[in-house]
Amino acid sequence: MRTAICVVGARPNLMKIAPIVAALKAQGRFKVLIVHTGQHYDSRMSDSFFADLGIPAPDVNLEVGSASHAVQTAEVMKRFEPVLDQAADPFVLVVGDVNSTLACALVAAKKGVPVAHVEAGLRSWDRAMPEEINRILTDQLSDLLFTTERSALGNLVKEGIPEARVHFVGNVMIDTLRANLGRAVPVAATLAENGVSLPGPRHGVLTLHRPSNVDEPEVLARLMGAARLVAAQCPLVFPVHPRTRSRIEQAGLDRGLAEAGIVMIPPQGYLSMLGLMRDAQLVLTDSGGIQEETTALGVPCLTLRDNTERPITIDEGTNLLIGTDAEDIVAAARTILATGGKGGRIPEYWDGKAAERIAQILADTLGGSGAA
């Protein structure tokens, strides 16, 4: 039986890999090996997601941890190669755009092992983003490219990738969202668990983690200032990425946040985060995945970036690309709070069956035999 090596490295990967692993196991055509690179090593940002999403414990944990992009990518490659060498007739399935995605795809490609990339073809057109480099190179290395939206095909063809290798399957993150929406943790329970409360019945959600936003003191100060003004009208729950918390504290931007209506809590598990987003009046974020999840939930989203690799969330969904100007952010948030924001629709194939399509294409193209 051929081995499907499913790689996860960071928290967003877990939401994408969960339905794929389930679909492959249900299909029974491949032996499934889960490799966790350990790129995210905080238990709140990794281990809890395995539990929330019902993903089997990783078969291998490379325990790479945090480092610079070069060191982390190199370390994943060094530790992944022996795993690949020991697998029987393998192919490698990678998701998203983190360093682990590129590192494992590169090791496999150099050894002549087939690579399948889930979430291929997304482009921000901003090569200052490390994730953009990871996306472009992983797509060039991949034999099978699974896309979440039809516009991704044009991006890939322009980069010389044959159309026959590209398969539009939909969005596996939405598979996970649909499967777990009924299990989402109520907002009150999440707040109580973290020993905090809100001054009123409604709330928004704030997330920040991109280096361009949190590592630049001027930009971070501008965003936190905007968040304070938004929170004056609608309190914001702020699950804080560890690096973001450190930058906020270093800059002294944490003073008076609670009084301003910004409730900081630690990173949350998937089900708690899902509950926070589901019941929010609006979400302010620089996350790619949250742009998609809010579109699926019909919740207004302001993306605090100058570009996005997920244009469908703007063209068809509830997302607005607003940038990092404080006046623009506050004005857009006030409009949403007053009017409910723009309407959106669920994009094509965001129907909870993307992983099933992927599993079938893998069986048809890469074979596999026997029973689970």
- In the block, residue with structure tokens 């238990």: 43
For tokens 């996860």, what's the residue? 8
- 7/92 Cα distance (integer angstroms): 7
> What secondary structure letter does DSSP report for 350?
-
In one letter, which amino acid is 365? T
Residue with tokens 């941890």: 65
Which residue type, as a one-letter code, is found at position 302?
Answer: L
Catalytic residue among 36, 167, 203, 209: 209
Q: Quick one: which of 338, 329, 322 has its CA closest to 233?
A: 338
Give yes or no: 209 in active site. yes
Collapsed DSSP state (helix, strand, coil) of residue 260:
helix
Distance CA 151, CA 233 (A): 37
Phi (first) and psi of residue 364, to 5 degrees: -70, -30
Amino acid at 210: R
For the chain, the distance separating the N- and C-terminal CA atoms, rounded to the nearest angstrom, is 9
Q: Collapsing DSSP states into helix, strand and coil, what is residue 335?
A: helix
Active-site residues, by number, are 209
